[in-house]
Chain A
Amino acid sequence: MQRIIDFFLGNRLRLLFWCYLLIGIALTASENIYLKSSYLNTSSRLSGGIHLFFSGIGDYFSLASENKFLTTQNKVLMERLVAFEKYELNHDSTLMNKNFEFINGRIIKNSFTGIDNYLTLSLGEQDSVFTDMGVVNEKGLLGIIEFSGNSFSTVQSILHSKSKINVKVKGTDYFGSLVWNGKKTNNVQLIDIPDLAPIKKGDTIISGGMSSIFPENIPVGTIEDFKLTAAKNYYIIEVRLFNDMQNIGPVYVIKNHLKQEIKAVEKNTDE
């Protein structure tokens, strides 16, 4: 017994080191959903308040530019509304796509320089925001909710090594996946577009609408450059984002009312 005690006392530094290292690894790489969600929930509750406070101070200084932006956006929406009302007079409005609902919120923490970046959103389950909902702003795609706590959520940014979003080249039916190579914060890469696709620099990339997360036609960016893969059958396209990922502004979470139905149908098909 004395030997065991002596062993622990003699190696206490090494044991302590391994103990903290294992705790860190468990919190970072664990597949245990309960452990991970309890940790993320506690950490988002702790840091959420602090970030809310600091972003509140920052928001105060950007009130003038925010106001200008909202007025411009209001003008665009008013114009669209007028055009839509004219359209509605001549068409059956019940046929319109009303499956998607937008919930407005704001980003209180934004990371963009890592390999895997996340945003923290001031909305949570109490605002009907749940995992796997899409997040956009007026300029385009931002990411997908990865974890939703009671009052805050974390969003997996499109600047994340595991992000893969279905998009297409506007005006065509060529679909591909949007990924990020971890380098520039205002550029992402579009892969899986076949070499037959008629693309050119400056073409617009929009969401493909092939998932239940984002509706079709959400803007993403423009083609900055492209080249063929080594096998020469697909393009790797460099896309310049419309969004400035360092300065996001107000955001909207997209709720798809038909998501459960789509998932149920897909599940039944798989079985």
Chain B
Amino acid sequence: MNRELPIYLPIKVVLLILIQAFVFSKMALFGFISPMIYILILYIYPTHKNRSLWITWAFLFGLSLDILLDTLALHAIVLVFMAYIRPKMMRIMFGLNFEQKSFRIQQAPVAQRYSFIAAIIILHHLVYFSLEAFSWSKWLLVLEKTFSTGIVSFIFSLPLITLLSPRRK
């Protein structure tokens, strides 16, 4: 089975959204942590596809999650922001390799891939919880939530990226 076929991408994305809405968002680890793994969309979506289309998709993914989770448009805003800055983050993380047309995240060294996932998770959680709190007075709560949820999201993301990535040849 070739998991690189374009048809598998929408299936993976829909699966991520459903797993997020009906499994991870219903969790409360240690009484308050609900991992956000849908951010892996930023990892599995191909890097050199049309960027306007990518931002549009990011908005729609986020909005569908918002509709399922009753979070107004918080996920849509954060996902659009993350989609917009993803190339800049990748340039920092992967250096010149990213400029090559044949570049694929899945083929980058493990350390770089894990650092990229950790970076997108921390930035995503920081923006999300800041928007949710929407108040300077709650900065400590925002940081606490960002790091505690971020660590758990990262731990859950590792097995998921193995499942979602195309097989290495």
Contact = CB atoms under 8 A, between A and B. Distances in A.
A and B together in one complex: yes
B138 A182 contact: yes
A54 B18 CA distance: 11
B73 interface: yes
Contacts of B69: 109, 111
A24 B28 contact: no
A116 interface: yes
A20 interface: yes
A113 B33 contact: yes
Contact of B70 (A24, A43, A185): A43
B55 A185 contact: no
Given A16-B55, A111-B25, A115-B129, A47 B80 contact: no
Nearest to A184: B31
A186 B67 contact: no
Nearest to A183: B32
A114 interface: yes
A46 interface: yes
A6 B59 CA distance: 25
A181 B141 contact: yes
Contact of B84 (A17, A24, A54, A183): A17
A50 interface: yes
Q: With a 10 A CB-CB cut-off, give which of A16, A116, A120 has the most chain B CB atoms.
A: A16
A78 B12 CA distance: 53
A184 B32 contact: yes
Contact of B55 (A17, A44, A47, A113): A17
A50 B18 CA distance: 11
A46 B22 CA distance: 15
Given A12-B52, A13-B51, A114-B132, A246 B28 contact: yes
A17 B141 contact: no
Interface residues of A, number: 39
B28 A20 contact: no
A209 B66 CA distance: 35
B19 interface: no
B150 to A, nearest CB: 13
B82 to A, nearest CB: 11
Given A24-B59, A25-B77, A181-B141, A109 B133 contact: no
B74 A13 contact: no
B76 interface: yes
Given A16-B52, A16-B56, A115-B133, A28 B77 contact: yes
Nearest to B59: A20
A154 interface: yes
Contact of B80 (A21, A28, A46, A113): A21
Contacts of A109: 69-70
B113 interface: no
B20 to A, nearest CB: 12
Given A50-B68, A183-B141, 10 more contacts: A16-B52, A17-B84, A20-B55, A24-B77, A25-B77, A28-B72, A28-B73, A46-B67, A109-B69, A115-B133
13 contacts: A16-B56, A17-B84, A20-B80, A27-B72, A43-B67, A110-B26, A111-B25, A112-B28, A118-B70, A181-B141, A182-B133, A183-B144, A246-B28
Return the 10 tightest CB-CB contacts between A and B, nearest first. A113-B34, A24-B77, A27-B73, A24-B73, A28-B72, A20-B59, A43-B67, A20-B80, A17-B84, A24-B76
